[in-house]
Amino acid sequence: MMKAFLEEVDSFFDRDPAARSRVEVVLCYPGLHALWMHRISHWLWQKQLCLLARVIAQMSRFLTGIEIHPGATIGKRFFIDHGMGVVIGETSTIGDDVTIYHGVTLGGTSFHEGIRHPQVGNNVIIGAGAQLLGPITVGDGAKIGSNAVVVNDVEVNQTMVGVPARRTKTRKSELAAHEEEFGAYGTEQGAIDPTKRDIESLMEEMRRMKKRMKELEGGAGETAKQWSAKP
């Protein structure tokens, strides 16, 4: 119990350079407070004490600004940075060592029984304001950029940005994923928006076509001069 407690506290140091001491993390980090209260409410939910679980979850929402349904399953060393406006739905599943930022929603899009919310793997980073909607699967090591809207499955180690979210790059191996530095807000340094990349590619193609057309027009002009010069 104490080991798990210290693991969760210490995990904040790996992902937040502003953290200076364990005491500061315990007293001043609403993400940690929301996680602890969720551990209690989730245990009560599993014991079929649903009303009491919902009351504790509501208290947590009031105190931290973070709304986690008691039915959500959350793994080890979960880190919510800042946290205000985070919403995690009832059937959401979150793996180990996941980081999310303020304004993130793991929401449902249907009213049927069963899984309605995102299933998030291990070592995932979800940037501020990102919306993950529906019973989608987010693979291990994925990064979701800030304000992205994700409505389809995300493969292992992919980085997604935009509305709707599109892939910017995929790490080639798990080794590369572990060697890569932690990317705050799920944003790759120097990453290019896929829409911008496509537009730039089209512009470059147009430049090449214009250059080729000028070369062809120049060649046609020389041929015409040669014919007109013949007696």
Residue 159: CB atoms within 10 A of its CB come to 25
The backbone torsions φ and ψ at residue 226, rounded to the nearest 5 degrees and listed phi first, read -65, -40
| 204 and 111 belong to one structural domain | no
Distance between CA atoms of 129 and 141, rounded to whole angstroms?
A: 19
Is residue 131 classed as helix, strand or coil in its secondary structure?
strand
What is residue 127's predicted lDDT score, i.e. its pLDDT? 92
Q: How many domains are contained in the chain?
A: 2
Interacting residues of 158 by C-beta distance below 8 A, sequence separation 6+: 139, 142, 143, 167, 169, 170
pTM of full prediction above 0.85 = no
Q: Are 125 and 186 in contact (CB under 8 A)?
A: yes
Q: Which residues of the chain fall short of a pLDDT of 50? A: 175, 178
CATH of the domain at 44: 2.160.10.10
| 85 and 173 belong to one structural domain | yes
Side-chain-facing half-sphere of 53: CA atoms under 13 Å? 19
Residue with tokens 């928006």: 193
Domain of residue 139 covers: 2-191
Residue with tokens 């904040």: 12
Residue with tokens 């407070």: 33
| 132 and 173 belong to one structural domain | yes
| 114 and 207 belong to one structural domain | no
| 78 and 160 belong to one structural domain | yes
164 preceded by a cis bond (ω within 30 of 0) = yes
Distance between CA atoms of 7 and 135, rounded to whole angstroms?
A: 29
| 205 and 149 belong to one structural domain | no
What is residue 94's predicted lDDT score, i.e. its pLDDT? 96
| 204 and 122 belong to one structural domain | no
| 152 and 196 belong to one structural domain | no
| 159 and 228 belong to one structural domain | no
What is residue 91's predicted lDDT score, i.e. its pLDDT? 94
What is residue 169's predicted lDDT score, i.e. its pLDDT? 63
| 10 and 48 belong to one structural domain | yes
| 26 and 49 belong to one structural domain | yes
Distance between CA atoms of 13 and 17, rounded to whole angstroms?
A: 6
